[in-house]
Amino acid sequence: GAVVSQHPSRVICKSGTSVKIECRSLDFQATTMFWYRQFPKQSLMLMATSNEGSKATYEQGVEKDKFLINHASLTLSTLTVTSAHPEDSSFYICSAIGAENWNTEAFFGQGTRLTVV
């Protein structure tokens, strides 16, 4: 199946700094990418949807100035957590779909464990 690579897998940062997480589709063109956040023992919460070349659409309650999403190409989307605080510590997962299989499969990255100290 198609591969989505997410990097880094783990990151520890100091409070007040910014962290960038990359999500790449390695063997297909991802027309749409999704960013999720997962709290311990909970389901995935959709944060935002991004289409290549356009601004991301954020879900209600997600601060777009804090969670900056860029989808500059058909194979790369980035999530930047700006001025991170301990409450931003979480597991972040990206997902990508292609134009041809958008309703039959979404491919997920390995996830990024962010710890803000």
Partner 1 sequence: GDSVTQMEGPVTLSEEAFLTINCTYTATGYPSLFWYVQYPGEGLQLLLKATKADDKGSNKGFEATYRKETTSFHLEKGSVQVSDSAVYFCALILNQAGTALIFGKGTTLSVSS
DSSP annotation of 9 reads S
Q: Is residue 100 exposed (0-12), middle (13-18) or buried (19+ Cβ within 10 Å)?
A: exposed
Q: How many residues of this chain bind partner 1 (CB under 8 A)?
A: 26
The verdict on 89 binding partner 1 (CB under 8 A) reads no
Nearest distance from C-beta of residue 43 to partner 1, angstroms: 4
Question: Could you tell me the maximum CA-CA distance found in the chain, to the nearest angstrom?
Answer: 42
Q: Encoding tokens for residue 71?
A: 């989808």
Which listed residue (11, 20, 32, 68) binds partner 1 by CB under 8 A? Answer: 32
Q: Please give the residue ranges that form the binding site for partner 1 (CB under 8 A).
A: 1, 6, 31-32, 34, 41-44, 46, 49, 51, 93, 95, 99, 102-111, 113
